[in-house]
Amino acid sequence: MLYTILCYHNEEITSSWTEEEDAAVIECLKTVNRKWAKNFEPIVRLMPTSAATTLRKTENIVMDGPFAETKEQLLGFYVVNVDSLEMAIQIAREMAEANPGGAYELRPIALYYPNGEAIENGSTS
Amino acid sequence: MAQPPEPDWIEARLVGARPQAVAALLRYFRNLDLAEEAFQEACLRALKSWPKNGPPRDAASWLIMVGRNAAIDHQRRQSKLQELPDEAVISDRDDTETDMVERLDAADYRDDILRLLFVCCHPDLPATQQIALSLRIVSGLPLPRIAAAFLVGARAMEQRITRAKARIAKADISFETPGPIERAERFAVVSAMIYLVFNEGYTDANPKSERAKLCDEAIRLARLMLRLFPAEPEMMGLLALMLLQHSRQKARFDTTGAPILLEDQDRSLWNRKYIAEALAMIDKAMLHRKPGPYQIQAAIAALHARAKLPEETDWTGIDELYQALELHAPSPVVTLNRSVAIWKLHGAEAALEMIAPLAEALDSYFYFHGVRGNLLEQLGRDFEARDAFGRAIGLANTPAEAMHIRQHLDRLDGENAGLSE
């Protein structure tokens, strides 16, 4: 069963980390990642929302910044392959211990193409 | 069950919420000292309350409300006769979150933070005071750290900041929501201040020093500005420019602290993460088709960053961008920089010809004599080269710069000694 673990945190906080603090957080997370390595699929860290661009579909206009103005921003996500929601929560809980603050949102994946070319073949792995 | 947060996570939240909270308190009290004191008081209460009650969902609003109430209580005790600010309800409880969020208009708080930054870099203040005040008030850096960054004692720095605050108290600052022109003016002043903070840090050879950390602080401020005003291409340009300069931090100096020229740097030490973000910012900025000096400088830096080897540098592109910069922000320094591209494209003779008219304007500019010395040295005009390097060494801003010029002089002396043998 595939879940995404969406990572939310207040960017005003994360951007105030020094490079060393940032590296320390990532290192802590990696120990969890290593422990559950066989359950992890892609891991994605996003650039700050200041680098984001949004296309409003109905108006067809390109705007600067992220789609939603929220207190906590989407900073990255993991895709995990787990036996149950419980297991996904367990992984998220361990990551939360390594990196407190913010929230993880666990969302089951409905459609997953690890490689977009697969769409050509009509396969829905 | 919410876990009580660790103390350093409280600290991170306080730092993160600071610009917005101090900015709102400044709008409320219209006095920098009062706003700062109110914020300090709110932080003290947060350190007491948050470990017990859990952190509030909106730290900034909590701090604004608690800080404001604490300051009002304090004023009330100080003088019962004094007229209180006209506010409908003032809560006496300092650990409850109200619907402050809704009362804080998003547009208001954007202009609050812009105003706070603008106040700190008010044109009445000399540049050094602007930087010091911004770092103290907006970034919340402790005095000793700012003092260390400027290589002065904490006491001297405190006096500098006190003087700056006194000047601001006398300056006429509008607390109304700014119009578009006023906002644009403030934006330009704040951008310049952020770049000043960056340059202050950029000159330092030791990446661990307090001074060098100012680069990170400037980048943080630019990201903050972009979160508030996401559609400002010049702020995107400024952020990109700083990220690109900063990406070379680990490659710019050797172990003795002597600067390493761009073409001699180990490019594997360049920070790819910063470069990638900068390139993304430049792409975004270009969509606006409103070029400006920061964007053009960022584009120049990007052409350097894109070259995997010095020989792959697109000097034609760099020359064109410098020409554009000469149009947007003409200055002898820009022309001097352009001459380096001309040197690569058309040789030292052409470059020397280009900088000749700058001699008077840049007479006391270290890099002018440095570049001129290099060009003359390459043309074999050793006597004049030595003269130029001699001028440069007298104008060096740091010991490392002086050391670098010294190497040129030694080399020239060595060559001549060899010839005379």
Interface contact flag, B230 A15, Cβ < 8 Å: no
By the 8 A CB rule, do B368 and B388 touch? Answer: no
| Interface residue ranges in chain A relative to chain B, Cβ cutoff 8 Å | 10-13, 15-19, 47-51, 53, 62-65, 69, 71, 100-101
B17 touches chain A (CB under 8 A): yes
Strands across the sheet containing A2-9 = A40-45, A73-81, A2-9, A103-108
The DSSP line for B318-353 is HHHHHHHHHHHS--HHHHHHHHHHHHHHH-HHHHHH
Task: Give me the pLDDT at residue B361, please.
Answer: 92
B11 touches chain A (CB under 8 A): no
Interface contact flag, B15 A69, Cβ < 8 Å: no
Interface contact flag, B9 A65, Cβ < 8 Å: no
What ipTM does the predicted assembly reach? Answer: 0.83
Residues of B in contact with A10 (CB under 8 A): 13, 16, 59
* Cα–Cα dist A53/B285, whole Å: 10
Residue B78 burial (C-beta neighbours within 10 Å; 0-12, 13-18, 19+): exposed
DSSP class of residue A77 equals E
More confident residue, B6 or A34: A34
The DSSP line for B200-236 is HHHT-S-TTSTTTTHHHHHHHHHHHHHHHSTT-HHHH
Q: Smallest CA–CA separation between A124 and chain B, in Å?
A: 32
The CA-based dihedral angle spanning residues B223, B228, B233, B234, taken in that order and rounded to the nearest 10 degrees: -70
Which of B13, B239, B287 is opposite residue A13, by nearest beta carbon? B13
* pLDDT category of residue A83 using cuts at 50, 70 and 90: very high
By the 8 A CB rule, do A68 and B230 touch? Answer: no
Nearest to B195 by CA among B226, B213, B222: B222
Residue A121 burial (C-beta neighbours within 10 Å; 0-12, 13-18, 19+): exposed
CA nearest A53 in B: which residue?
B284
List, for residues B83-125, the tens digit of each pLDDT value. Answer: 555 554 444 444 444 444 444 555 667 888 888 988 888 888 8
If you search the block for the tokens 């859990």, which residue do you land on? B54
CA nearest B6 in A: which residue?
A100
> What parts of chain B have a pLDDT lower than 70?
1-7, 80-108, 415-421
Interface contact flag, B277 A12, Cβ < 8 Å: no
Task: Give me the pLDDT at residue B180, please.
Answer: 86
Task: Give me the pLDDT at residue B190, please.
Answer: 92
* Cα–Cα dist B281/B289, whole Å: 13
CA-to-CA separations, B411 to A65, B313, B371, B384, B414, in angstroms, rounded: 52, 27, 16, 14, 5
Task: Give me the pLDDT at residue B331, please.
Answer: 93
Task: Give me the pLDDT at residue B4, please.
Answer: 47
Q: Which two tokens stand for residue B224?
A: 């903050």
Average pLDDT, chain A: 89
* Cα–Cα dist A69/A71, whole Å: 7
Interface contact flag, A62 B5, Cβ < 8 Å: no
List, for residues A86-121, the tens digit of each pLDDT value. Answer: 999 999 999 999 888 889 999 999 999 888 877 766
By the 8 A CB rule, do B291 and B275 touch? Answer: no
- Interface residue of A50, A62, A93 to substitute, partner B, most B CBs within 10 Å: A50
CA nearest B19 in A: which residue?
A12
